[in-house]
Chain A
């Protein structure tokens, strides 16, 4: 008993000595501003979000503690269940579109051609320009009367009559998916391109000597070696898309008849437009499980490397 106590005291003293060593003090000094801001404006609001979601707070009134009643109410709310479904459709379809198209685009950009830097820069534009402003352009392109997309498609004889882009539940979802894919594609393409450039060339030469056709080279060399990059990019994009706000807010406001409502836009409407802050908080907390899954998978991936 006494010996373990002594050992504990000893290790405590050693620990104290380590803390006092100058590296530690410098280290804490250097991280403290970042730590302070993150605790005050990230960790504390998160705890507050959980607390508010357990109250019936409305704008201007603190509200009372009602345990999980907001969540129970949401599970019986037809609009909320539609929002859940829409969020999954939106995320799964845009992430898979971005992945497939991003892979194709990266393979194209990995070839040699003139003005490559210029082309690469031009392709990145959708990702750089303020989303709210470029989405306004899409709103104008989808306009019910003056849609330039319909103008082109009708002119080329591809469609027989106008497509009601934002006026119809199905086409509205298609529209937000197109715009999200447009905005996110450059991130996929550039990241996958970086992964492609890191694959050692001798591997392909060896495969050629063995008589492997381009498709088999792609399947047995390129894809397996790209897997880590693809995993990271897909995980990033999944959480960003799941929590997306601007595209839907500007294009459709969640409509028509709730057809494109997703978590973030519904949380905004309920909390800040309708003023039911407790319920709105509960809705945005539904993003947390998604975040948790992404974080766990990401950490597992990074640990393995």
Chain B
């Protein structure tokens, strides 16, 4: 065997085969979700059919879904909440992140430490008492309960990411601007923010995704059908008394997954650079 052959064999076993296995593991559930939502009910539950393919493609599941359920409403709730909370968290995160990266004031270090720790606090640690706080704010069963509580895990995330980002921007330009009579806030808005756009975009879209995907708070604080978000509504509203309508369930899961998948395919480069920066610094 020539050396070239040896190299090809090494490449197949050392790269392509294992990589294909990983890709199969990662993607098969999505493939199954996709084809299950375009099958008719008889085909879904026919064990003799060629199950890995679609034999009679149909939109029946989607039609039923839109006719019978409030899926449009759930999508809108998710979108509204995610947009609002990621905007709020980004704004507060930019402010706090800038203060911690650039300004020296007593307590700054303690606050930075506190943000870092709260970034690690799992939602399942405090969801029970938070339900009673939400109740005393008279927000139970309203989407505002989520608008108010989601920033508690989004702001620490944004702040922590943006501290690292702001620190990587050289100080000289804003100092020049301040000597020229610009205020601290003016320098931040006009000089630093435009330079930090990649970091801010990453924070925004990641916060959006985190809100869109959140489950525990949405499950706990909201019980009426019309106020649910898509990630909670599909598993709770579409499964009725242990009856599973798999076609509709998969169609709804597909619809609920597409927005975040699209969002992140557009911003893939921001995403990977932001994620890796965060992993290395955070």
Contacts and interface: CB of A to CB of B under 8 A. Distances in A.
A33 B264 contact: no
A288 B125 contact: yes
A287 B155 CA distance: 22
Contact of A229 (B185, B246, B279): B279
B26 A24 contact: no
A117 B131 CA distance: 42
B129 interface: yes
A281 B276 contact: no
B26 A186 contact: yes
A137 B33 contact: yes
Nearest to B51: A151
Nearest to B276: A194
A190 B275 CA distance: 8
B114 A291 contact: no
A153 to B, nearest CB: 13
A246 to B, nearest CB: 5
Interface in B63-101: 92-93, 95-96, 98-100
A119 interface: yes
Interface stretch (B1-9, B14-22, B167-175, B190-198): B14-22
Given A46-B129, A108-B15, A243-B124, A33 B92 contact: yes
A12 interface: no
B257 A133 contact: yes
B261 interface: yes
Contacts of B123: 243
Contact of B257 (A26, A44, A130): A130
B27 interface: yes
Contact of A194 (B125, B156, B280): B280
A125 B126 contact: no
B209 A128 contact: yes
A120 to B, nearest CB: 7
Interface in B19-34: 19, 22-23, 25-27, 29-30, 32-33
B69 to A, nearest CB: 14
Contacts of B124: 243-245, 263-264, 267-268, 284, 287
Contacts of A294: 120
Contacts of B132: 48, 52
Contact of B156 (A38, A49, A136): A38
A44 B26 contact: no
B176 interface: no
B268 interface: yes
Interface string B97-126: 011100111101001011111101111111
Most buried by A among B47, B105, B151: B105
Size range of the interface on A? 35 or more
A27 B105 contact: yes
A49 B260 contact: no
Contacts of A232: 279, 282
Interface stretch (A67-75, A138-146, A203-211): A138-146
A28 B26 contact: no
A145 B231 CA distance: 26
B161 interface: no
A22 interface: yes
B184 A19 contact: no
Contact of B231 (A133, A264, A288): A133
B8 to A, nearest CB: 13
Contact of B215 (A45, A113, A119, A132): A132
Given A136-B235, A194-B280, A130 B260 contact: yes
A52 B133 CA distance: 12
A3 B18 CA distance: 75
Most buried by A among B26, B159, B256, B261: B26
B26 A123 contact: yes
Interface of A: 15, 18-19, 22-24, 26-28, 30-31, 33-35, 37-38, 40-42, 44-46, 48-49, 52, 101, 104-105, 108, 111, 113, 117, 119-126, 128-134, 136-138, 140-141, 143, 145-146, 148, 151-152, 182, 185-186, 190-191, 193-195, 197-198, 229, 232-233, 236, 239-240, 242-246, 250, 263-264, 267-268, 271-272, 277, 280-281, 284-285, 287-288, 291, 294-295, 298-299
20 contacts: A26-B103, A30-B99, A31-B99, A38-B155, A45-B133, A49-B126, A52-B128, A52-B129, A122-B27, A124-B271, A129-B261, A132-B234, A132-B235, A133-B231, A133-B253, A143-B246, A185-B26, A272-B220, A280-B128, A291-B120
Interface of B: 15-16, 18-19, 22-23, 25-27, 29-30, 32-33, 36, 44-45, 47, 51-52, 92-93, 95-96, 98-100, 103-106, 108, 111, 113-118, 120-133, 148-149, 151-152, 155-156, 159, 184-185, 209, 212-213, 215-216, 220, 230-232, 234-235, 244, 246, 249-250, 252-253, 256-257, 260-261, 264-265, 268, 271-272, 275-277, 279-280, 282
The 4 A-B residue pairs whose C-beta atoms are closest, nearest first, are A243-B122, A194-B276, A191-B279, A264-B124
